Structure 1
Amino acid sequence: DLSDNQLNGSIPESFSDLPSLQKLSLENNLLTGSVPAIWWNVSFSTKARLKLDLRNNSLSNISGELNPPANVTLRLEGNPICKNASIQNVGQFCRSEAGGDGIPDSSTNSTQTMTCPSQACPTDNFYEYVPSSPVPCFCASPIIVEYRLKSPSFSYFPPYIQKFEMYLTRSLDLSLYQLSIDSIFWQEGPRLQMHLKLFPMFINPHSNTFNFSEVHRIRGVLTSWEFPRTDFFGPYELLNFTLLGPYSNMIVGPRRMGIRKGILAAIITGAVASFVILSATVVLLITRCSRHRDRPPSRRHSSSKITMKIDGVKVFTFKEMTLATRNFDSSTQLGRGGYGKVYRGILSDDTIVAIKRAEEGSLQGKKEFLTEIELLSRLYHRNLVSLVGYCDEEGEQMLVYEFMPNGTLRDWLCVKAKGSLSFGMRLQIALGSAKGILYLHNEANPPIFHRDIKATNILLDSNLIAKVADFGLSRLAPLQDDEGTGPSYVSTAVRGTPGYLDPEYFLTSKLTDKSDVYSLGIVFLELLTSVLPISHGKNIVREVNLAHQAGLMFSIIDSRMGSYPSECVERFLALALRCCYEKQDKRPAMLEVVRELENIIKIMPAADTIFSPSAASYSDQSPTSSSYLTRDTSYVSSSVIGSDLSSGVVPTIVPR
């Protein structure tokens, strides 16, 4: 049984050299190429049977003829070969009941028996039989869609095909049989690209194409915010929407409308009248401003309103924010940072949110406010905190985020924490954080350097899923040309948090993706030791390196993690120290970090990598931890000068 092992490549012909072979299970892998006739060289007795389960791979052809003996059970459903009508008898091996061994069909979109006459469906005009149609031999013309999941939460697709089909057809208001996944392939990221076919609904034998309004509607849903997003499948992008055959003359873009002369005259008249009114208004405003120019500015007038309308981001009024926080009562305050105070709020629909309110005169106020709205409105990933909306009234600047009931990672690592995290939980938090940053570096368009990765900016939801937060210091990465060349850094003033700062960025002012890698490496060391990055001027990287070189590595590991596999801890520590190399070019890329964490988790005992429900109750025990952001006052985002690197009085690393 070699099923569910992510095997790739072709199936070896040498399997036919095993005369006593009775069952070969290769289902749910990534195998490609042709199906070998394994039964050719096998001598069967009257009672002998051979079961070959090749379901849910990417097998596209057959070596020789597809005519195994009666005592050979062959299952091919879920492979592209099932859609190749030119292969004789392929249909009988692509039915869910083909195996006869009680194994259920793993995909609702299985292929129907290929008994339809090929000449009855004009393939030269882009028609084909609908594979899963409830009506036999329904010939229709599909819309071809090239679709990509930019950051799915899985790295192996077959177990989730049915779930994806239901998600996509429900989102597009189609029946399940109207979708056919033609092919899939993984790209670096990892990203999952797929070619889909969308078929019209069967109404009568002649209803074999979509009408214009349906084509326009489907494309509109795929290219708008109406398409629902899920954490599981992650963000997506529509790469191509191909209209061939009967659809080739359709134009589904915005239509241009001609303007009649009467309407044009009315527009010109209205424009002239508007100009006169506007001129009078300007004169009136200048007169009023001259009367009041000596008045001292209040907070109400100290900030111009930002008139931004962003899809998916709600604009809140100041009154709504006041009601949500009981007039910003101190009992609703969760924390305080360089930007301002953070409050727990309850909206009118009972949604609990975290509200960041900028303090008057904040040095990080308006610029970070604009940056965070612009960046977060374009980002969507299960490991990034979601922006719900913002408020820009009454001279206020507030950002409204999804509420993280389990506070910050630093809450869970501090000595006084009332809850504890096992090593497996810490690995999952590390992986979630790395995936969020990987999305920023590789999938965001344009890519983004976070610049302030730290334990207080990694938040935990009700299931202890890690989410990266606080994009106030983020910078857009430089764009590369078509050949992938160009600057890899941004020259910018050094900003960030002492203890997490990339040393090379501190010296050169050149910010790169490896600067975030360094900061995340510091977080990894915190996960292992629960010690703050700076201790009486001592740097956690140096202290851990010294302990490691002295053979005292396990003496510095946080004893609250309980038992753990020593090999996994060693690999995690080695990865953390690689991330913290002083030279940027020696550090791993974020993709390499994610892959190594996934490999470490694979060799962990299964029970140790699952979050315990009891662990997620920490927020109920400690009110101070139930926050969007609870900052250590020694680790506030700030402009950094040399003396800041040794600021703060915090515990040192001691053997445990």
Structure 2
Amino acid sequence: MLPTAKCSSGVQMLTLMLEIIKMMGKRFCGLVYAVLYGYLVLFAVAQITDPSEVSALGAVMGRLIDPMNHLGNWYEGDPCQSKWTGVLCFDTTDETDGYLHIQNLLLLNMNLSGSLAPELGQLSRLRILDFMWNDLTGSIPKEIGNISSLVLLLLNGNRLSGSLPEELGKLSNLNRLQVDENNISGTIPKSFANMTSMRHFHLNNNSIVGQLPPQLFNLSRLIHLLVDNNNLTGSLPPEYSELPTLRILQLDNNNFSGTELPATYGNFSSLVKLSLRHCSLQGAVPDLSRIPTLHYLDLSGNQLTGPIPSNKLSDNITTIDLSENSLNGSIPASFSDLPSLQRLDLRNNAFASVLGDLDPPNNVTLRYDIFIKTRLMIWQFQDSELELGGNPICTSANIPNIDKFCDSEAEDDETITKSTNSKCPIEACPTDNFYEYVPSSGDLCTCAAPLRIGYRLKSPSFSYFGPYANLFEAYVTSSLNLSIYQLSVDSIAWEKGPRLRMYLKLFPHANSTMFNTSEVLRIREIFTSWRFPGRDLFGPYELLNFTLLGPYASNPETRRTGISKGVLAAIVVPAIASAVVITAAVTFLMTRRLARNQRSLSRRRMSTKVSMKIDGVKGFKFKELASATDNFNRSTQVGQGVYGKVYKGILSDNTVVAIKRAEEGSLQGQKEFLTEIKLLSRLHHRNLVSLLGYCDEEEEQMLVYEFMPNGTLRDWLSENETYIQVNVARESGLMFSVIDNRMGSYPSKCIERFVALALNCCHDKTERRPSMSDVVRELETILKMILETDATFSESTSMHSDSKSTSASASSSFMTRDQYFSSNVLGSDLVSGVIPTISPR
């Protein structure tokens, strides 16, 4: 690599040249001229990315806040040549202008905050714009509508607000729009009907208002329309039934008050899931038996009336939820002849009779968790159980022993247990490098480093995953061109929606301990470009995180940008002549500087390693804490303040901990950090959390505490109204009326200062809370006041031990003091205030 490749700008390079001049003197002027000339030649060929796009990325960076420095290399060289994080370029230069252009901008789950820059619209060749799962605020720039080449616009999982720009309707090549889980308001623009390539509309979990535009029925390629959990009103467009490829229509938790479900919705030709839960719908349930592909029907929590149509639904159907309506009549006998049915929920209606026998039909055979589940009816495994709770049938005198069918309930919970090989020795794999046993390695104890992937099915078409687990594994591995044994579904969890969250682990091929770089990039590209083939049963998915830990984290090639070898050769060959000239001078300077810095760094590291050995406090490695928090995933965060963030983590021994991680602006010096650890390690009290360890690696400062699961102190005080009572008492001068006498007696001034400090520590605004140094300083002042008062009080009582007036005077300033009072308690226990579930300062 050329020495100049380390320089991030022409200014840095010229500064380096000036240092060479100062070191070598005027007699080397000829060499300096050669150096500068060589640099200019190199600089002329090194700018290979379209300058307008480079400028746009600079504006993007200017709007972002990057506390973890994920985009640190954005200041180095050319975006395509220097492989900027998340920037992928086309492999070849454009014939019309001779530049490389940016193809994808992938900034998934990087803890970025700030806002989106309007200059994004200058990335004229962009195909994927991905800012998923960050903490961005502000509005969506209308200028994004100028990127006519855009195929994927992925902004879900942020805090974006404002309306959806009309200009996005110009994106005729857009295939997927994901802005779900934001704070988007306003209406859905009618211009979106011009997105003729649109297949996936994910607008759920926002604050969108108004009516669904009927014009969207023009989107003949639309597959998924998810607009649940918004504030939509008006009527349901009957025209949507004409959408030829629509698979999922999910509109739960909107307010279509007074609207009937259109009868035309029984004409969908390819609908797999119809979910309109809690939408204030009225009228009758339409006949949906003509939809041959229907898997999932949820119309619960509405105001539907009348009987259920008796025609048999599709044999594919897994779930029927019609609970919490005003349906009446009889339960259709056709429900007992649905071979794939997992769940039938008809609670809280007005059914007075059931068709057919009370026993399960003969064709219901033993299969995984087969039950038609409700308080109304349950057939589970081979047991002949029937549940009829919540309906008039339970009070019928004509059915003998009906009571026994109206009391019990079935459980909804579903878990997956990881398979482990009990023959393998415990912890024999190198856990520090995130290796573990391959679950499907049989009798062999094979260790390998998996890729860890957070994955969620946004709208699955089943209620229980178990029967489809093997099918899902085959679906994922075939899409990734892997073998079944290479996938482990590590855990699953049903979330509101319902959505199914899971963690996947992908293991390398047999006889390999890790994936090579090209495989990691190939797999990541399939996930991030949504190249999975459609599968109606599993529905749309979302990528929550693609975590590169252990041996994968240290490989810079995983930040590939797509630059070709030919382009690199075009840069290197013309620059070799100038590189030869400058190499000697630059190497001399850099070697001298590096040696000086290395000696200093070695001294600091040696000093740190020696001084940080503290009894009872473990020194954690950064990799351990990253693994415990899924690489500090936002979902594990339990608090945040000026100091930094607090994460819930699970260590390798299953210990649950709270990890307080300092942000860049709050980092202390080594001495100060060491002092704080020593101080906290001496604090032991039943009302204080214990410091378990610390981490001082990779420019990080973290403290590890035992985890307290009951919320923040501020929340606890608010819920118990204690905070309000104490605050009112303090402002009204009645502080001592809310203090428990069992605390002992202390000077009134000390009590007032201590309470003021405690209330400030619980302030709603993090910037108003005192820093740790301020807390320690104030507590030391209070302690000093107590000790001084103790000395004065002791001297006074010894001189006037028989004086009643003195005793009266003393009791006016003191509450009754506990005879077991210890200054060590005040001097240590109270200094902490570092309970991890409290939002940090």
Work out which of the two has the higher radius of gyration on C-alpha atoms and give 1 or 2: 2
| Structure showing greater relative contact order (alpha-carbon pairs closer than 8 Å, 6 or more residues apart) | 1
TM-score of the pair, normalised by structure 2: 0.25
TM-score of the pair, normalised by structure 1: 0.30
